[in-house]
Amino acid sequence: MDTYKELLKGNKLWVQEKLRQDPKFFERLSKGQSPEVLWIGCSDSRVPANEITGTNPGDIFVHRNIANMVVHSDMNMLSVLDYAVSILKVKHVIVCGHYGCGGVKAAMTNEQYGLVDNWLRHIKDVYRLHQEELDSITDEEQRLNRFAELNVIEQVFDLSKTSIIQNAWRSRSLPMIHGWIYDVATGILQDLGVSLHSKSKLPSIYNVTGKVVAGLGV
């Protein structure tokens, strides 16, 4: 019942510890932020970006949602991405998934979960794209793990399809975009080796030119 009081108590202790290590820590942070990394991760409480990377406030700009999705009509994600890439000029964007993801697991079933089904459908699209590979994995946990990895890989591609990323690549050849997976059972982060910093691997239909055309002609 008093969990929220524990949080406030925890905050006081944390402030004391930070000031003990570095008396100017908060004074410096109050002057502004210049993180080099945008993190797009899962809302899962076991995957906090700063803690698992051993970083501090000010180091990582963060967006989290169920199953670390890059949905191209999600204004929240797009706003975070645009601010991080166009204003903060981050050098890296990391999509980080995790094994044992509840969202990915739910998407692999045929159950109805309610409102969230509309979100999970984007993850089901990933299954459809990789159905042959995923159906061939007989062990359910292994299939789920691979599904979580493929979901990250597809979100990296989805990032590269945005005009935000393509405009940044055109003007400054950055950010690098990466796909990582986290193992909640070991605490280890793994790079899935799908980093991109150009649209060379992207099917040409997704390329956007640098010029904005007025009107859709409808």
Q: Contacts with Zn ion: how many residues (CB under 5 A)?
A: 3
Identified catalytic residue from 63, 96, 98, 178: 98
Clarify whether 96 is annotated catalytic: no
Site string for Zn ion, 95-124 (x = CB under 5 A): ------x-----------------------
Q: What is the number of other CB atoms lying within 10 angstroms of the CB of residue 98?
A: 25
Active site residue 44: yes
Query: In the β-sheet with 92-98, what is the strand arrangement from edge to edge?
Result: 60-65, 37-42, 92-98, 176-182, 189-191
Applying CB under 5 A, the span of 28-36, 94-102, 112-120, 130-138 interacting with Zn ion comes to 94-102
Cβ atoms of 53 and 189 within 8 Å: the answer is: yes
Determine how many CB atoms are found less than 10 A away from the CB of residue 92.
17
Q: Tokens 């699209």 correspond to what residue?
A: 125
Which residue number, 80 or 101, has a Cβ lying nearer to Zn ion?
A: 101
Considering the candidates 2, 20, 22, 42, report the single residue annotated as catalytic: 42
- Contact present, 147 and 63 (Cβ < 8 Å): no
Asked if 126 is part of the footprint of Zn ion (rule: CB under 5 A), the reply reads: no
Q: How far apart are the first and last CA of the chain?
A: 57
Q: How far is the CB of 214 from Zn ion (least distance, A)?
A: 41
Catalytic: which of 63, 101, 122, 158? Answer: 101
For Zn ion, the closer CB: 103 or 175: 103
For residues 10 and 6, what is the distance between their CA atoms, to the nearest angstrom?
A: 6
Residues in CB range of 158: below 8 A, 6 or more apart:
70, 71, 72
20 is catalytic: no
Distance of closest approach, residue 145 Cβ to Zn ion, in angstroms: 12
Distance in Å, CB of 46 to Zn ion, minimum: 8
Nearer to Zn ion, 115 or 212 (CB): 115
Strands 37-42 and 176-182: unpaired
Known catalytic residue: 146? Answer: no
β strands within the chain, DSSP E: 37-42, 60-65, 92-98, 176-182, 189-191
Residues 27-66 as x/- pattern, contact with Zn ion by CB under 5 A? ---------------x-x----------------------
| Catalytic residue check, 92 | no
Name which of 44 and 165 has its Cβ closer to Zn ion: 44
Element (H, E) at 42: strand 37-42
Q: Which residues are catalytic?
A: 42, 44, 46, 98, 101
Q: Which residues bind Zn ion (CB under 5 A)?
A: 42, 44, 101
